[in-house]
């Protein structure tokens, strides 16, 4: 018990130590690093490619998003080999929805709060996808943004 208390207090004053750490965005890390970690290549038709890396308590999270013609986005997602078919996402209230890894960091809305979004996930080691054996999980969102285009959001760790 004494060891535990000592680890959480300033030994000179006995006051609790301020927590350090927490999720932080890694400066200079963007879509290149995110796509490299996920072992994905955005379609050549992709535009508005954005990415970020967040170092967290236990895991580093990688975000990448882009827009592309819907057919190209669907082909891209099929290559990820989702464990189940994409399903419609029921939008959450954008005023109350919070997440530890916000897409707002990239100037994007949270896909969970948007209309016309489908979602799925994949565990590359579970499906024996050797290309992505070091990736534990990829959460996939695809949003129909109209005019035959889609926005893809990928979050991986």
Tell me the per-residue pLDDT of 8-28, one tens digit each, with 9 for 90 and over: 444 455 444 444 567 899 999
Is residue 33 domain-resident?
A: yes
Is residue 3 domain-resident?
A: no
- Of 52, 43, 44, 48, which Cα lies nearest the Cα of 66? 48
* The pLDDT of residue 5 is above 60: no
Is residue 85 domain-resident?
A: yes
Give me the half-sphere count of Cα atoms (radius 13 Å) on the Cβ side of residue 81: 13
Range of the domain at 83: 22-156
What's the first-to-final CA gap in the chain, in angstroms? Answer: 35
Residue 113's contacts (CB-CB under 8 Å, 6 or more residues apart) are 91, 92, 93, 94, 97
Total domain count, the chain: 1
Is residue 116 domain-resident?
A: yes
Whole-number average pLDDT of the chain: 88
pTM over the 0.95 mark: no
What does the pLDDT look like over 124-148, one tens digit per residue?
Answer: 999 999 999 999 999 999 999 999 9
Is residue 137 domain-resident?
A: yes
Is residue 6 domain-resident?
A: no
Is residue 2 domain-resident?
A: no
Is residue 63 domain-resident?
A: yes
């Amino acid at each position: 018990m004494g060891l535990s208390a000592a680890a959480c207090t300033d030994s000179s004053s006995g006051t609790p130590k301020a927590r350090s750490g927490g999720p932080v965005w890694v400066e200079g890390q963007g879509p290149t690093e995110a796509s490299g970690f996920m072992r994905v290549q955005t379609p050549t038709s992709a535009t508005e490619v954005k990415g970020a890396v967040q170092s967290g308590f236990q895991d580093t999270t990688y975000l990448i998003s882009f827009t592309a013609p819907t057919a190209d986005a669907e082909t891209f997602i099929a290559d990820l080999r989702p464990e189940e078919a994409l399903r419609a996402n029921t939008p959450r209230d954008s005023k109350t929805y919070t997440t530890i890894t916000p897409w707002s960091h990239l100037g994007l809305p949270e896909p969970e709060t948007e209309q016309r979004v489908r979602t799925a996930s994949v565990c590359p080691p579970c499906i024996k996808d050797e290309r992505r054996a070091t990736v534990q999980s990829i959460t996939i969102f695809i949003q129909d943004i109209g005019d035959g285009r889609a926005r893809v959001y990928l979050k991986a760790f």
